[in-house]
Structure 1
Amino acid sequence: MDKNTLQKTLQRLFKGKASSEDRNVINDWYHSFDSDEDIIIEDHKNRSRQEIRDEIFSKIQAQSGIKRQHDNRRIYFLTFAIAACICIGLFNLAYKFSNPSLQIQPEETFISFENEVGMIKKVKLPDGSYVQLHHNSSIDVNKEFSQNRKVLLKGKAFFDVVPNKDLPFTIETESFKTTVLGTSFSIESRPGSFDKVAVKSGNVSVQSQEFGEVLLGKDETVKLESNQLVQGSITNSELEFGWTERTLVFINTDISTMIKEIENWYGVELYSNCENLPNRKISGAYHDMNLEELLITIQFSIPLEFEINKKSVHLTFKECK
């Protein structure tokens, strides 16, 4: 019997308008559970189906004074006892367990890893996969990772996933759910900017509740921009993945963005005599340099002077003097 039919039958019963046929329908539905041995019903207290039924019937007995009968007749009071059982939970349990999508799942617990500014943090997961966390980024890893390879991401990270065809690896952000079997790729999800997935190797499935699913292969990207999924190709691999190999990359970058990137990369605060130089851009890849080496190199592109005092750096752009 479907849910709507049973609910309408119960409504007639509660209003005192149930026919003898209605009562027989409810009795038949109730007794059908005795033959459904393949349906396992357990609630949050880990009670079995029979324990639930016994406890409910005990409550009915206590409130009504009705005693359990051990005959084969379908007597009138049993119909109302069944209706009461349904009202306080048995119907909902039976319906949920006959519909797997509605079953209550155990509450998930996670272990958190965070990275602030000034470094790239590398995390090894229990299955041998690696995650590199960009600045101001964090992941939550499912505590039962051997059974559920699920990660929650805030910020930007690069994943190098160990293949396991029987246990997909999923990463959830505010906008995307990304699923892989074994591959390497980056994901970025930050407030105020578009979400992006870029694939270095293998294949990736990116799912959005609102925009559907996109399949990506090597050197392909997808980003959520202006309320739509925009697919593209990686034209500069170093720009996408250089940070994972300690390479700071600028491509036609304005001064204010460059300053912010340097602050995050080295964990310092920069002060300058210019808010921005509209006509001045910088491009270059700077591999494994300390802060002083970087600023000396930048001087060849942009005339500036600098002074480093521990975590504070003062930049003086000659064009702003």
Structure 2
Amino acid sequence: MNDENLNKKRLRQLVNKLFKAQITQEEKQLLDDWYLSKEEEDPIVYTDLSKEEYKEKLYQATLDKIKKGDTKRNEGFTFLTKLAASVSIICVAATVLFYFLTSTEHQEFLTYKSEKGERKKIELQDGTQVYLNGNSVLKVNKEFDEARHVMLEGEAFFKVKRNESLPFQIKTHQLTTTVLGTSFNINARSEANESVAVKSGKVMVASNRKEEEVIIEKGEQAIFYESNLSSSQIENEDLVFGWQSEKLVFFNETINGVAKKLEEWYGVEVEVFSKTSKECLITGTYKNLTIDQLLEIIQYSTNINYTINEKKVMIINEGC
């Protein structure tokens, strides 16, 4: 165990003693010193709250606990406030919790990455299987045996090994998905609305921006659209899950939309030149085709021409 892990463990112990009103002056000084050392840092967070706003929110929650707690608990918090002689010690605790719960700057991760045109299968140490779609990044907490937390950029399908005592949590830019053990797909690409689709079991999806969450089951999906989280039935399972069985699926896709998917799927660069403003909508499911074969099929139903020069593709759209 390295020094950073020792420090984290010690900080957790001090915070626990703080809230149990069992902290000594020397231990309080350790927390004060730690707080001061972190005060100038600007951690990366997945919340709309600033560090100061987060401190204030936790401080208010602490005051609520004081008001609602039983006599013994109130005595402990009274001792705590006397010991602190100000709200500074609460701010220290807020910073410690903020540091552990929302910062990625001070955590260590194992990083798995897939390039454009590459799909990768990963098995985590608990037996969970992850299928990483092209141009995606998965970061796995190095202290995975203590907290099954991962971060995702892009798209992945998860088959989570069940562990009721240790929930599995995936954080993306907009959403946090929590499960015990199930299979589901998460699409968190920057150009799309973030979504979570369940193939088996049940998951809880929460917004990182506000207090909003939904529980979805097999055949359902959660979508984050225009800052709102909603759920609905999955209408086309191939469109959501098909990629993991090497199916490239289009549903009412424009030529520009097709081009974007071709880039991700084949790892190429695609340029589209349109000679018309009329959009041709393309629907179809394709498997085990080269990009040349696929474009030739699309050419039968739409008026396009194309050229392929190694990793560069040019599509000329002349309308439907």
TM-score by length of 2: 0.67
Query: 1:104, 1:118 → 2: CA distance?
Result: 36
- Deviation by residue 1:88-113 (Cα, 9 ceiling, x = unmatched): 99x939x96xx9x9697595321112
Letter in 1 for 2:217: G
Is 2:155 aligned against 1:181?
no
Unaligned runs of 5+ in 2: 1-11, 16-21, 31-80
Instruction: Give the aligned partner of residue 314 of structure 1.
Output: 314
Structure number with greater CO (CA < 8 Å, separation at least 6) is 2
2:262 and 2:24 map into 1 onto residues whose CA distance is 65
- Residue 41 of structure 1 and its aligned partner are, at CA, apart by 5.9
Mark the CA change 1:269 to 1:86 in structure 2 (over 3 Å): closer, same or farther. closer
State the distance in 2 between where 1:313 and 1:284 align. 20
CA distance in 2, matches of 1:50, 1:111: 37
Preserved contact between residue 134 and residue 155 of structure 1 (Cα < 8 Å): yes
Q: Aligned pair in 2 of structure 1 residues 126, 102: CA closer, same or farther (>3 Å)?
A: closer
Q: 2:115 maps to what in 1?
A: 116
Using the TM superposition, give the Cα deviation of residue 211 of structure 1 relative to its aligned residue in structure 2, in angstroms.
Answer: 3.8
Deviates more, 1:263-272 or 1:216-225: 263-272
Aligned equivalent of 1:21: none
Q: Return the alpha-carbon distance in structure 2 between the equivalents of residues 41 and 174 of structure 1.
A: 30
Q: Is the contact made by 2:275 and 2:318 (CA closer than 8 Å) also made in structure 1?
A: no
1:301 — aligned with what? 301
Q: Tell whether 2:26 aligns with 1:52.
A: yes
Query: Which amino acid letter does the alignment assign opposite residue 144 of structure 1?
Result: E
Partner of 1:286: 286
- Deviations along 1:203-240, whole A, 9 cap, x unmatched? 00112251422111001011111222221000110001
The one-letter code sitting in structure 1 at the alignment partner of 2:281 is: K
Question: In structure 2, do the counterparts of structure 1 residues 118 and 274 end up closer, same or farther at CA, with 3 Å as the change threshold?
Answer: same
Q: 1:262 to 1:51 in 2, by over 3 A?
A: same
SS at match of 1:231: strand
Question: Aligned AA for 2:255?
Answer: I
What is the Cα deviation at residue 319 of structure 1? 4.5
Query: Residue 231 and residue 275 in structure 1: after superposition, are their counterparts in 2 closer, same or farther (change >3 A)?
Result: farther
Does the aligned pair in 1 maintain the 2:275–2:319 contact within 8 Å? no
Q: Say if 2:89 is the partner of 1:92.
A: yes
Q: What corresponds to 1:141 in structure 2?
A: 140
- Which string of whole-angstrom CA distances, capped at 9 and with x for unpartnered residues, describes residues 283-314 of structure 1? 10001212122122222222333332211123
Partner of 1:26: none
CA contact (8 A) 2:255 2:281 kept: yes
Answer whether contact 1:256 1:275 (CA < 8 A) is retained: no
Say which SS state the counterpart of residue 274 (structure 2) adopts. coil
Aligned AA (2:89): N
- The answer to whether the 8 A contact 2:130-2:156 is kept is yes
The AA in structure 2 aligned to 1:145 is F
1:278, 1:179 → 2: CA distance? 43
CA distance in 1, matches of 2:149, 2:283: 37
**Rounded Cα–Cα distance in structure 2 between residues aligned with 1:293 and 1:42:** 63
C-alpha contact 1:256 1:276 (8 A) present in aligned 2: no
Deviation sequence 1:6-47 (CA, Å, 0-9, x none)? xxxxxxxxxxxxxxxxxxxxxxxxxxxxxxxxxx9648xxxx
Larger relative helix fraction: 2
Larger Rg: 1
Cα distance per residue 1:128-160 (max 9 Å; x no partner): 112222233212100011221100112221111
The 2-side partners of 1:120 and 1:55 are apart by 50
Structural RMSD (CA): 3.5
Residue 271 (structure 1) aligns with:
271
TM-score, length of structure 1 as denominator length: 0.67
Which amino acid in 2 is paired with 1:242? G
- Residue 5 of structure 2 corresponds to which residue in structure 1? none
Supply the distance in 1 between the matched residues of 2:98 and 2:257 (Cα, whole angstroms). 48
- 1:127 partner letter: D
Q: AA paired with 1:296?
A: E
Partner of 1:125: 124
Checking the alignment, whether the CA contact within 8 Å between 2:275 and 2:316 is kept in structure 1 is no
Letter in 2 for 1:227: S
| Gap change, CA 1:211 and 1:85, over 3 Å in 2 | closer
Q: Deviations over 1:153-175 (max 9, x none)?
A: 12221111111111110001122
Q: Amino acid of the residue matched to residue 236 of structure 1?
A: N
Larger deviation, residues 114-123 vs 274-283 = 274-283
Match of 1:240 in 2: 240
* 1:53/1:221 CA distance change after superposition, 3 Å: closer
* Runs of 5+ consecutive residues of structure 1 not aligned to the other structure: 1-39, 57-82
Tell me which residue corresponds to 1:196: 195
- Equivalent-residue separation in structure 2 for 1:236 and 1:54 (angstroms): 57
